[in-house]
A and B are shown apart, each in its own frame.
Chain A
Amino acid sequence: MTQDLLSRPAEAGSPTIERADATASAARNRFGRLRRIRPVEAVSVLVLAFLVLASLAPTLFTAIGPFDTSPADAFRAPSLDHLFGTDQNGRDVFARVIHGSSTSLLIGISATALGVGLAVILGLIGGLGPKPVDFVVTRFLEVMFAFPSLLLGLIFITVFGSGIVTSTIAVGLATAPGYARIIRGQVLLARNSGYAEAAVALGRSRTRIIVRHVLPNVLGPLFVLVTLGLGQTIVWASSLSFLGLGAVPPAAEWGAMLASGRAYIANAWWLTVFPGLFIVLSAVAATALGRSIQQRGRES
């Protein structure tokens, strides 16, 4: 047992030289560091704001419609007239990518909301319910974990067919088990904490304890999960579209655009590179923002 204690990585209170140094400087900087907006966060927020603006008002960025064809201008390389070039029907790729943000973001946001919503329900039932209920929820999650996420989505599509709506639901369902496990853990942590115990001792009602003590402790990590998850769902939803199971061409959805552009990859690289770049941009911005907030949580 003593051996075990010795070899454990330094936990709170075990003073190693570097740790002590780090905490001292952290204490000095804590106030400033928490308030200062990091460059990563500023850039991520700007990128996300740009994408949201593009989804709400695409005409701000481009006067060309996403379906305006002009066969004479097919396969133009990127230039000042056509920032991202044109596709096989002479449609402007930049206009299509900008107009596509609303579809792609909406799919990502709905899928995340569905996944997290289901996860909160499962997590709360598991974490707060009586033992047998928790047992069932835990076993259920265990079974769901035996399916890799994308495959879970594929089962759903096998049953209900492909399309934007079913692929969105599929991605949402596929992400739920992972979130549910984290949320259940958070609920248990809050439920077994000293302050929850104190509230019980004070004779507070069960609902009051849940609303005042358990939920606030679940919501913080939840925000991080949502931001981190958004990046992943955008990638997965566009993967499904890419495979032909979600949005289908000529829809201006990033994954579907990339899929139809792939046939011309040898002579028109811009058809695959730019829609993909927007997927990457949104996913990276969401992930970087989520991770940064997560780190703040750890430092404070």
Chain B
Amino acid sequence: MTTAVISGGPVAIPRARTAGRRILSRVAGAIFVLWAVATISFFIIHVIPGDPALAIVGGAGSNVTQEVLEAARVEYGLDQPLWQQYIAQIGRLATLDLGTSYTLRTPVSDVIADHLPSTLILTVLSLTVAWILALALAIWVTRGGRIARVVGSTLEVVSAALPHFWIAAILVLVFAVSLRVLPATTAPGLPGVILPVVTLAIPLAGFLGQVMRESMLDALESPFVLSARARGESEFGVRWIHAIRHAALPGISLSGWAFGSLISGAVVVETIFAREGLGRSLLAAVIARDVPLVTGVLLTVAAVYIVVNILAEIAYVLVDPRTRVSS
């Protein structure tokens, strides 16, 4: 960090070096987390009560001969010593081979490749909608009077506490059963995605709205807004150029967390709306105890999560000029 002190002038190299070092440490951290997730998931397979071979050939209770079980063990390498299995597994993961699903009998990477895009579309759309709702709420609450404050903070708390499955049920009741304007289950095109996206966006908007409002209030009281006002900046300019950036900051740094909560929500929402996706595959895999599929999905989610967090960090630096000057 000493380089930052020296780089008061237009010296580009030290800053690039710190940036490079920071990126390097982030990548190392990411690899460590992925390795740990892989290790944990490996041991999950082996602490699971019951014979994994039995789960492979059709679950507990199925009538199978000893030879079939033995064949399954050999096929999945379960006859090897534990440490050899572990090294083999990590080696496979390093080449992006996630194994074969017990229930679907297809490579886990294929299952994920099929389902990930749909879930990513769902989560990205929901995050966008939640962001718009939260910012709108924050702006409205901070400029309105007492009533706006009370209504706004009530809306935030209530919507943040709403369970996805209940919002989904109410939305289906109103828009699919009563008004008949939107499909109750998934359908191709935009109409089919509206209810799932709104369901996921509402609680998230409540959470983001809370932090954005507080941050916006902070910003409106800060010296940089005072100086902008002193320069004769209009109220519109103060809010939409200066304060809104500040309100967006905690939202950006929470995006990684928000993405995680959206993935959790996707498990519920994809199930309710019968929408294809990673969440629904994960739930099916959990119920069937399809360990390779569960661990494969978890590794994918962890990887995407890390990428989202790094993107959020970059976005933070881009939006907040202060982080560019010091540190």
Give me the interface of A with B, judged by CB distance under 8 Å.
1, 3-4, 6-10, 14, 16-19, 139, 142-143, 145-151, 154-155, 157-160, 162, 231, 235, 238-239, 242-245, 255, 258-259, 262, 265-266, 269, 272-273, 276, 279-280, 283-284, 287-288, 291
Listed from nearest, the 9 A-B pairs whose CB atoms lie closest are: A150-B264, A148-B260, A276-B166, A283-B161, A146-B302, A143-B36, A272-B169, A9-B222, A235-B163
User: Told that A10-B223, A242-B165 touch, could you supply 10 new A-B pairs with CB distance under 8 A?
Assistant: A1-B326, A9-B222, A16-B226, A145-B260, A154-B286, A235-B163, A265-B169, A269-B173, A284-B158, A287-B161
Instruction: Collect the chain B residues with CB atoms within 8 Å of residue A17's CB.
Output: 226
Q: Judging by beta carbons under 8 Å apart, are A150 and B267 in contact? A: yes
Q: Which of A151, A235, A291 contacts B157 (CB 8 A)?
A: A291
Shortest beta-carbon distance, A206 to chain B, in Å? Answer: 32
Q: Are A279 and B166 CB-contacts (below 8 A) given A146-B306, A147-B302, A269-B173?
A: yes
Q: How many Å lie between the Cα of A146 and that of B299 in the bound state?
A: 9
Is A10 within 8 A of B221, CB to CB?
yes
Q: How far is the CA of A7 from the CA of B324 in the complex (A)?
A: 13
- Complex CA–CA separation, A280 to B263 (angstroms): 21
Contact status A239-B164, CB under 8 Å: yes
CA distance A283 to B224 in the complex (A): 39
**Are B169 and A273 closer than 8 Å at their CB atoms?**
yes
Q: Does B16 contact A (CB under 8 A)?
A: no
Looking across the interface, which residue of chain B has its beta carbon closest to that of A156? B44
In whole Å, how far is A10's beta carbon from the nearest beta carbon of chain B? 6
- Contact in complex: A258, B282 (CB < 8 Å): no
> Given the complex, which residues of B lie within 8 Å of A238, measured CB to CB?
163, 165
Query: Is the beta-carbon distance between A6 and B163 smaller than 8 angstroms?
Result: no
Question: Does B239 count as interface, using CB distance less than 8 angstroms?
Answer: no
Knowing A155-B294, A158-B289, A159-B48, the reply to whether A146 touches B161 (Cβ < 8 A) is: no
Q: Which residue of A lies closest to B260 (CB)?
A: A148
For the complex, give the distance between the alpha carbons of A279 and B203 in Å: 14
B197 is an interface residue with CB less than 8 A from chain A = no
Residues of B165-193 whose CB lies within 8 A of A: 165-166, 169-170, 172-173, 177
Is the CB–CB distance between A242 and B161 below 8 Å? no
Let me know if A244 and B169 touch, CB within 8 A: no
In the complex, the answer to whether A231 meets B264 with C-beta atoms within 8 Å is no
Report yes or no: A7 in contact with B224, Cβ–Cβ below 8 A: yes
Which residue of chain B lies nearest to A259 when distances are taken between CB atoms in the complex?
B165
Q: Which residues of B contact A265 (CB under 8 A)?
A: 169, 172-173, 177
B161-A149 in contact (CB<8A): no
**Contact B268–A242 (Cβ < 8 Å):** yes
User: Which B residues touch A242, using CB under 8 A?
Assistant: 163, 165, 268
Measured CB to CB, the nearest residue on chain B to A22 is B221
Within the complex, what minimum Cβ distance (angstroms) separates A278 from chain B? 10
Measured CA separation A14–B222 after assembly (Å): 9
| B223 and A14 form a contact (CB under 8 A) | yes
* Distance between Cα atoms of A283 and B162 in the complex (Å): 8
Check A287 against B177 for contact (C-beta < 8 Å): no
Question: CB < 8 Å: which of B40, B161, B285, B322 contacts A4?
Answer: B322
| Beta-carbon contact of A239 and B301 below 8 Å | no
Task: Decide if A157 touches B163 in the complex (CB within 8 Å).
Answer: no
Across-interface contacts of A9 in B (CB, < 8 A): 218-219, 221-222, 246
Whether B162 pairs with A143 at a CB distance below 8 angstroms is no
**What is the CB-to-nearest-CB distance from A250 to chain B, in angstroms, rounded to a whole number?**
19
Contact of A258 among B157, B166, B177, B226 (CB under 8 A): B166
Determine if A239 and B325 form an interchain contact, defined as CB atoms under 8 angstroms apart.
Answer: no
Instruction: Select which of B165, B264, B268, B285 is within 8 A of A148 by beta carbon.
Output: B264
Question: With a CB–CB cut-off of 8 A, which chain A residues contact B246?
Answer: 9
The residues of A that contact B158 with a CB separation of less than 8 Å are 280, 284
Determine if A151 and B326 form an interchain contact, defined as CB atoms under 8 angstroms apart.
no
Decide if A147 touches B223 in the complex (CB within 8 Å).
Answer: no
B13 interface residue, CB < 8 Å from A? no
Taking CB atoms, residues of chain B closer than 8 Å to A154 are: 267, 282-283, 286, 294
Q: Which residues of A contact B261 (CB under 8 A)?
A: 148-149
Question: How far is the CB of B32 from the nearest CB of chain A, in Å?
Answer: 7
Shortest Cβ gap from B71 to chain A (Å): 24
Partner of A158, one of B40, B218, B286: B286
CB contacts (< 8 Å) of A280 on chain B: these are 158, 161-163, 166
A–B complex contacts, Cβ < 8 Å, 22 sampled: A3-B325, A3-B326, A8-B222, A8-B322, A139-B32, A147-B260, A147-B301, A148-B264, A150-B263, A155-B294, A158-B294, A238-B165, A239-B268, A255-B165, A269-B173, A273-B170, A273-B173, A276-B169, A279-B163, A284-B157, A284-B158, A287-B160
In whole angstroms, how far apart are the Cα atoms of A262 and B172 in the complex?
Answer: 10
Cross-chain contact of A143 among B33, B173, B271, B286 (Cβ < 8 A): B33
Name the A residues within 8 Å of B223 (CB-CB): 6-8, 10, 14, 16
Contact in complex: B157, A287 (CB < 8 Å): yes
Are A151 and B298 CB-contacts (below 8 A) given A139-B32, A276-B163, A283-B161?
Answer: yes
- Bound together, the chains give a CA A145 to CA B256 distance in angstroms of 10
In the complex, B316 has a CB within 8 A of chain A: no
For the complex, give the distance between the alpha carbons of A279 and B264 in Å: 18
> A243 contacts B268, CB within 8 Å?
yes
